[in-house]
Chain A
Amino acid sequence: MAAIATVTSYEYAAGTCTLRLVGELSPLSQVTGRPVLGRSRFSLQMYGEEADAAIAAATNQAVIFDVSGREPQFSALAGLVQTYVQRHLNADALTAGGAVSQGDSAIQPVGLTRHRLTLATPPEPPKIVELSTLQLADLADALEQADGNLQIIPDHALPKTRWVRPKLPLWIGSIAAVGIAALLGNQLLTTAPSSVVLSPSEPQTTNESTRQLPPSSSQQPTQGDAPAVDSPAAESVESPSAAGEALPTPTTTAPTTPAAPATRPTDVTPKTSPPPSATSPAPATSNGTSPAPDAPPQAEARAGGAQLARPDSNTAAEPAPVPTSPSADRSAPDTPEAFEASPEIAATRAPDAALDWVAALRQALQQQWRSPANLAAPLRYRITLEPDGTVETLEPLDDLSATYQDNPTLPQPGTTIPGIARDESTTVEVQFLPTGEVVVELPDS
């Protein structure tokens, strides 16, 4: 069975800039030596120069620029900034670097030390911000940190999955068959058997329920993959936003987020690193939605989910926001859409909080973690945290990790990690990388 993708987030801060990246941790991370993210989303905030980014981020003050989007937009922004900065450095004079444009996005010098960044964000008007040289340097620094620490798989490079016939229609078909049989039986009871005619209008109710499927199916051809989205590779590629889009705001997409499981601390179970146990729709449905008997309600839910998934008609298809498969959503990097809060996706609030918690935990651990000089492979632990953030257990997941278990820069049992209090105890799997990075994996529910 396909593995469940692990969603993780990374945050890079540099002076006046904070960059957050969220995505599925690819199994390729095991062989590349650094995290590889697929189906990633980014969120970028720039602050006024007076504010320290860490403080400003905590207090949400002085944000002068806020943009988020998907991988293609992130790559475009990174390329634009890095090209502009390098040209600026290559130039003989402060203003001789000239403007750089990519599509409808551009950066151009303004005076000697200011730089106007124009970001195309269709369908919205382009976002324009004037940055000081310090802010530009911070932006370039944050992008460079991300570039140096992560590898991001372009959306178009992700394997396309075969469209698997959605499983829902199977049981819908069964329901339809039962309904038809019931009607036939009714007819048999009330009319002569030879006069029973199946007219198109006969199984009206069941057809309607099935009819609700095609729109969502067509809109989300990967819907059927949702349960099988356990494997990141199996997840269909949402049709990427148009190549011409530079930095569209992620208005779309599934309200259900990978953090949906993360909102259930009680469901936390230890998860082995990257190839997690596969799940079937059944466990997913245990999250509260049962696909089985209630066809009409499910269909309505699916329709509602479809609406949630497609607040904009022109948005790329995303993995099914099927209520029955929040595990799928686990692998759907929709959480970044939470950056763009919209009324239709209020359901992402809870998953967004879980991601914030993950990010806070990761940051706290990373601040403390100092890789030993001779460490050649990541250390992996299962950490149980009490509601107040006290480390209850630090369980090594392999022999190497057991060797370093007493390292003082690891979260030792009895110590309290500030800023990560939750309602309940939580168990997470954490990787401490030789590069100094920390990867926090929330177990799947």
Chain B
Amino acid sequence: MEPSSLSASNSEPNPGPPQGPTTPRQLSSIKAQLDLVLLALEALTGLGSDAMLAAADALGVSDLLSDRVNLWRLRQASPLRKGQGRKKLDVDEARALVLVSCHLAIAHRDPIRQAVARLEKALEQGQPPHRTAQLGDYLDAFSNAYQDRMEGDQTATTNEINTLGLKLLVDLLFYSGSGGSRKLWLALLERAEK
């Protein structure tokens, strides 16, 4: 039986202009969300595809995430990325990416907590987050990676990307806790309904 496909997101209507000053529209697609959560983890912790593949192996989903090419293909399914190749992501592959993302978030819980604590402190003091070393590095890395890879999104502004990065950083905090994979899965489904 053909696994269910999530390619429907390719035919989703244009999400339209942002609804407000802080509305990461990029999160309306399940495939885009999954890619971006991993992007946020990469930007914050510096981990790469090796760590993702190792996580897949530890979780027993290496048949779905067997090598870098496979991983790249799955992440390439995001509508924000340009490029050829299939744009489909079946439910098992999506689940594998969810598990890997949360597994990595748990493994890097300390830097995530640190970053969120610094974000809170910066906001309390009325300071721009990027002025804090760790946050500045994270936002730079996230923004650079986003602009390099998300060629399918030419309209994103720096402010929008930074907002998206901070939103994903806070989300990672919850995904790194108990029940994180369930929370991410529900968030994917909830956003996809919009």
**A and B from one complex:** yes
Is B22 located at the chain interface by the 8 A CB criterion? Answer: yes
B27, A134: Cβ atoms under 8 Å?
Answer: no
B178, A93: Cβ atoms under 8 Å?
Answer: no
A133, B177: Cβ atoms under 8 Å?
Answer: no
B22, A90: Cβ atoms under 8 Å?
Answer: no
Given contacts A89-B174, A137-B173, A140-B174, contact A94 B167 (CB under 8 A): yes
B22, A89: Cβ atoms under 8 Å?
Answer: no
Is A95 located at the chain interface by the 8 A CB criterion? Answer: yes
Is A392 located at the chain interface by the 8 A CB criterion? Answer: no
* Chain A contacts with B in 116-159, Cβ cutoff 8 A: 132-134, 137-138, 140-141, 144-145, 147-148
A113, B183: Cβ atoms under 8 Å?
Answer: no
Is B171 located at the chain interface by the 8 A CB criterion? Answer: yes
B120, A85: Cβ atoms under 8 Å?
Answer: no
Given contacts A90-B186, A93-B24, A93-B163, contact A141 B177 (CB under 8 A): yes
**Residue in B24, B174, B184 whose beta carbon sits within 8 Å of that of A137 in the complex:** B174
B177, A137: Cβ atoms under 8 Å?
Answer: yes
A90, A114, A145 pick with most chain B CB within 10 angstroms = A90
**Residue in A14, A15, A88, A92 whose beta carbon sits within 8 Å of that of B23 in the complex:** A92
B117, A86: Cβ atoms under 8 Å?
Answer: no
B179, A148: Cβ atoms under 8 Å?
Answer: yes
**Residue in B20, B117, B167, B186 whose beta carbon sits within 8 Å of that of A134 in the complex:** B117
Query: CB-CB < 8 A to B178: which residues of A?
Result: 14, 141, 144-145, 148
Is B25 located at the chain interface by the 8 A CB criterion? Answer: yes
Is B71 located at the chain interface by the 8 A CB criterion? Answer: no
A112, B24: Cβ atoms under 8 Å?
Answer: no
Q: What 0/1 pattern do residues 166 to 204 of A give for CB contact below 8 A with B? A: 000000000000000000000000000000000000000
A93, B183: Cβ atoms under 8 Å?
Answer: no
A145 to B190, CA, bound (A): 23
Query: CB-CB < 8 A to A408: which residues of B?
Result: none
Query: CB-CB < 8 A to B163: which residues of A?
Result: 93-94
**Residue in A15, A93, A132 whose beta carbon sits within 8 Å of that of B22 in the complex:** A93
For this complex, into which size category does the number of interface residues on chain B fall? 20 to 34
Is A49 located at the chain interface by the 8 A CB criterion? Answer: yes
Chain B residue with Cβ nearest A14: B177
B177, A92: Cβ atoms under 8 Å?
Answer: no
Query: CB-CB < 8 A to A145: which residues of B?
Result: 178
Query: CB-CB < 8 A to A346: which residues of B?
Result: none
Q: What 0/1 pattern do residues 83 to 116 of A give for CB contact below 8 A with B? A: 0011011101111100000000000000111100
Is B82 located at the chain interface by the 8 A CB criterion? Answer: no
Shortest CB–CB separation between residue A140 and chain B, in angstroms? 6
A98 to B41, CA, bound (A): 26
Given contacts A133-B170, A134-B117, contact A89 B186 (CB under 8 A): yes
A137 to B179, CA, bound (A): 11
B28, B186, B187 pick with most chain A CB within 10 angstroms = B187
Shortest CB–CB separation between residue A281 and chain B, in angstroms? 43
B167, A93: Cβ atoms under 8 Å?
Answer: yes
A89, B27: Cβ atoms under 8 Å?
Answer: no
Query: CB-CB < 8 A to B167: which residues of A?
Result: 92-94
A354 to B122, CA, bound (A): 45
A96 to B191, CA, bound (A): 13
Is B119 located at the chain interface by the 8 A CB criterion? Answer: yes
B113, A90: Cβ atoms under 8 Å?
Answer: no
**Residue in B19, B117, B170, B177 whose beta carbon sits within 8 Å of that of A94 in the complex:** B170
Q: What 0/1 pattern do residues 164 to 194 of B give for CB contact below 8 A with A? A: 0011001101100111000110110011000
Query: CB-CB < 8 A to B113: which residues of A?
Result: 15, 134
A135 to B134, CA, bound (A): 20
Is B133 located at the chain interface by the 8 A CB criterion? Answer: no
Shortest CB–CB separation between residue B135 and chain A, in angstroms? 12
Is B123 located at the chain interface by the 8 A CB criterion? Answer: yes
**Residue in B170, B174, B191 whose beta carbon sits within 8 Å of that of A92 in the complex:** B191
Is B116 located at the chain interface by the 8 A CB criterion? Answer: yes
Chain B residue with Cβ nearest A141: B177
Query: CB-CB < 8 A to A88: which residues of B?
Result: 174
Shortest CB–CB separation between residue A83 and chain B, in angstroms? 11
A144, B177: Cβ atoms under 8 Å?
Answer: yes
Given contacts A95-B22, A145-B178, A148-B178, contact A89 B123 (CB under 8 A): no
B25, A92: Cβ atoms under 8 Å?
Answer: yes
A20 to B117, CA, bound (A): 25
* Chain B contacts with A in 100-116, Cβ cutoff 8 A: 113, 116
B173, A134: Cβ atoms under 8 Å?
Answer: yes
A–B complex contacts, Cβ < 8 Å, 17 sampled: A14-B178, A15-B113, A89-B171, A89-B184, A90-B190, A92-B24, A93-B22, A94-B170, A95-B22, A96-B23, A113-B120, A114-B120, A133-B116, A137-B116, A138-B177, A140-B174, A144-B179
Q: Interface on B for A, CB 8 Å cutoff? A: 19-20, 22-25, 27-28, 113, 116-117, 119-120, 123, 163, 166-167, 170-171, 173-174, 177-179, 183-184, 186-187, 190-191
* Apart from A92-B28, A134-B120, 7 more pairs, CB < 8 Å: A14-B178, A89-B183, A90-B187, A95-B22, A96-B23, A138-B177, A141-B177
Closest 9 pairs between A and B when the two form their complex, measured CB to CB = A144-B178, A141-B177, A90-B190, A144-B179, A93-B22, A89-B187, A113-B120, A145-B178, A137-B173
